[in-house]
Structure 1
Amino acid sequence: MIEERGRVVALEAEGAWVEPLQKSTCSGCSVRSGCGQGLMDRLGVRERRHRVFASSDLVLDVGDQVVIGLPEATLLKAAASVYLFPLLVLFASAFLASYLSFGEPAVIFCGLGGFALAWFSVWRRNSRLGHDPQLRPVVLRTTSVPLERAL
């Protein structure tokens, strides 16, 4: 299980919207002046945080710090479908066009067309599977209680 700490920012019946806590080591890094992450921090990009919907059957409040988890197999399948599948289709369609003795512009066009078709099929599949509760992250546990609830 891949785990990440976060803070609950909104609640729904089936779970919670969690904003992952981002860690930065820019202050201790020796190459911070030439690093893209350091530049993004200075430009204020870090303030634009992402939110993740995580299923939960725990009693949570907004502001709770939680640990969310996602099975490794789910992450690996998603990475393979998003990154590997379109790349393989790009190479296969370009190879097929080359094997059929098409000209170089046609080979390039076929490769890009295969990539676009594969990307579109991945996008459609992911939009259908995006609401599958078994593919969502889950809230595993809370890590702290906000000060307001402790009093």
Structure 2
Amino acid sequence: MIEESGRVVAVEPGAVWVETLRKSTCSSCSARAGCGQGLLGELGLGQRRGHMRALSDLSLCIGDAVVIGVREDLLVRGSLLVYLMPLLGLFAGALLMQSTGAAEPWVIVSGFAGMLLAWYGVRRRSALTAHDPALQPVVVRRVQAAAIAAV
């Protein structure tokens, strides 16, 4: 399970809204000294807070520190869906039009149409499965006050 710590900002029946700090991977990058993204991160300009709804069966209050988690297979499948499907749509549209012997501008337009059609399919599937509890992040545990003071 991929975990991220955050703080509860709202409570709903069976779920909580958690605020997390979006971090970049610049601390582990060897080129961070010459990178503009690393410079913005050092200045604090790249840090934004994200809000995420997570399912929880714990009794939590606003301000509690928690750890939320997402299953790895969900992250991989979601990444493949979001990044690979539009790319496959682009190739399929372009190859389909090229197989008919159409001119190059029509092949390009058809490729972009295939990409947009695949993107629309991904959006539609995402909207249909947005409320599936098996696909939602969950609160893994509450972080104790002693653990927060130690950090």
Residue 58 of structure 2: SS of its match in structure 1? coil
Residue 81 of structure 2: SS of its match in structure 1? helix
Note if 1:145 corresponds to 2:136.
Answer: no
1:61 maps to which residue? Answer: 61
The alignment's C-alpha RMSD in Å is: 2.3
For structure 2, list consecutive stretches of 5 or more residues without a partner in the other structure. 147-151
- C-alpha change, 1:35 and 1:144, in structure 2 (3 Å) is farther
Note if 1:44 corresponds to 2:45.
Answer: yes
Residues 7 and 21 of structure 1 are in contact (CA less than 8 Å); yes or no, is this contact kept in structure 2?
no
Residue 43 of structure 1: how far off its partner (Å)? 6.5
Higher relative contact order (CA 8 A, sep 6+): 1
The sequence identity of aligned pairs, in percent, is 51
Q: How far apart, CA to CA, are the structure 1 residues paired with 2:44 and 2:69?
A: 30
For structure 1, list consecutive stretches of 5 or more residues without a partner in the other structure. 147-151
Q: How far apart, CA to CA, are the structure 1 residues paired with 2:5 and 2:67?
A: 4
The one-letter amino acid paired with 2:133 is: P
Residue 33 of structure 1: how far off its partner (Å)? 5.0
1:96 maps to which residue? Answer: 96
Residue 50 of structure 1: SS of its match in structure 2? strand
Q: How far apart, CA to CA, are the structure 2 residues paired with 1:17 and 1:139?
A: 10
Residue 113 of structure 1: how far off its partner (Å)? 0.3
Residue 58 of structure 1: SS of its match in structure 2? coil
Residue 23 of structure 1: how far off its partner (Å)? 4.7
Residue 84 of structure 1: how far off its partner (Å)? 0.5
Alignment TM-score, normalising by the size of structure 1: 0.84
